[in-house]
Amino acid sequence: MKTTAKSTRIRKTGDGEWQVERFSPFRRVEHILTILIFVALVVTGFPQKFYESSWATGLIDFFGGLDQTRTIHRWAGIAFALSAVVHLGGIAIGVATRKMRLTLMPAPQDLRDAWNNLLYLLGYRDHPPKFPKFDYRQKFEYVGLILGGLVMLVSGFVLLFPIEFASLAPGELIPASRVMHSNEAVLALLVLVVWHLYGSHFSPDVFPMDKSVFTGYMTVKDLSHHHKLEYERLFPAGPPGANGKSGEAEALVSESENPDDGPEDEPFDPEENDPGDAEESETEQNETENVEGEAADALEAADALEAADALEAADALEAASDAKVEPSAPADT
């Protein structure tokens, strides 16, 4: 069965664990490319900012000198610009065609979730708030990446073509862009180290690593724990396999990412491997057999009755025939 834009794939692994697709293959590749581009920008950009440090000099020498370091940095910046265009363009097309939900856009509920979660951490609430597919922390980080990336791109292109921009705008734009580009890079690195790495690696909930952005899948148990609202949206009737049908996700067939994986990842089939369905099928089969038996008995009784009626009719006909051919007394002469 094909999935639609509003569908969510689930799969059952060989050990019987249910998993929900959280990131599509395209998003996973996009994330890996972003990591590589970001690392290339950091290792070639920060040595230029802190050029007086010994480690910066060592990195510049490693890349073949200052000119070569700048060339690598600029090509990495162009790659980042292209990836941003693809990302934002894909979102615009998805929203325009109504094939994408803006699950990473902040909403007023995120402010309430942040406040209630703070109360929970301080001990003023008994339980944390229920989060959607992406919570307020992930949305904050995503919006920061988009806005910070736009600052880096605009300021980077101004520094890449200073003469052209100086002919179109005041000359102060060039040094201002240099300050923006440099400080935003420091801010982006701090957010990555302090916020993203902790949330994805060092947090007790995911330590040592949240693998969903690389595998694409999250266990149903983790989804219920971290994103309760998304879990309830996908499985309003309970966890997968507990009932014949459990919401939107269970109406889909999930296939392994790699067809060579064999039985390690089993596709989900709501008509298969469910004891409730097996019992229902057996009951329906028994009822069918009973109905067929009753029909056969009724048909047999009808045949017997019809045969008796035919025999009685034959006897009556024979009696009538004998009465007609009975010989009369001889006439007197």
For 11-49, the pLDDT digits (tens) are 888 888 888 998 889 999 999 999 999 999 999 999 999
**Residue 321 structure tokens:** 């025939």
Number of residues in the chain: 333
Among the CATH numbers 1.20.950.20, 1.20.1110.10, 2.40.50.140, 1.10.110.30, which is that of 10-266? Answer: 1.20.950.20
Question: For residues 209 and 200, is the Cβ–Cβ distance under 8 A?
Answer: yes
Distances in whole angstroms, Cα of residue 109 to Cα of each of 91, 102, 132, 141, 301? 22, 14, 10, 16, 72
Task: Look up residue 6 and give its two tokens.
Answer: 């509003």
Alpha helices by DSSP H, listed for the chain, are: 25-49, 54-62, 66-96, 108-121, 136-160, 162-166, 173-190, 197, 212-215, 220-226, 228-234, 275-324
CA 2 to chain centre: 14
Query: Could you tell me the pTM of the whole model?
Result: 0.67
28 contacts 214 by C-beta, under 8 angstroms: yes
Distance in angstroms (rounded) separating the CA atoms of residues 289 and 136 = 58
Selection from 100, 86, 107 nearest residue 33 by Cα: 86
- What's the confidence (pLDDT) of residue 242? 63
257-271, pLDDT tens digit by residue? Answer: 333 343 334 444 434
Token pair listed for 130: 């229920």
What pLDDT does residue 10 have? 86
Name the burial class of residue 30, with classes exposed (0-12), middle (13-18) and buried (19+) by CB atoms within 10 angstroms of its CB: middle
Every domain of the chain and the residues it spans: 10-266, 274-318
Q: pLDDT at position 277, please?
A: 45
24: nearest Cα among 39, 42, 5? 5
Q: Are 202 and 192 in contact (CB under 8 A)?
A: no
Token pair in block for residue 269: 């089939």
Phi, psi of 215 (to 5 degrees): -80, -25
Dihedral angle computed from the Cα positions of residues 116, 118, 123 and 126, in that order, rounded to the nearest 10 degrees: 30
Q: Which residues pair with 18 in a beta bridge?
A: 12
Reading the chain (333 residues) residue by residue, the pLDDT tens digits are 333 345 788 888 888 888 899 888 999 999 999 999 999 999 999 999 998 899 999 999 999 999 999 999 999 999 999 999 999 999 999 888 888 888 888 999 999 999 999 999 999 999 999 999 999 999 998 999 999 999 999 999 999 999 999 999 998 999 999 999 999 999 999 988 888 888 888 887 778 878 888 888 998 988 988 899 999 988 888 777 665 444 444 445 333 333 334 333 444 443 444 444 444 444 455 555 555 556 566 556 656 555 556 556 556 555 555 554 444 444 443
Cα separation values, 233 from 6, 43, 222, 312, Å: 12, 43, 15, 72
**pLDDT score recorded for residue 309:** 60
pLDDT at 295: 56
Helices (H), 63-197: 66-96, 108-121, 136-160, 162-166, 173-190, 197
**pLDDT score for 193:** 85
User: What is the sign of the dihedral through the CA atoms of 236, 13, 200 and 258?
Assistant: negative
What the block records as the tokens of 20 is 């929900």
Tokens 């009626």, located at residue: 309
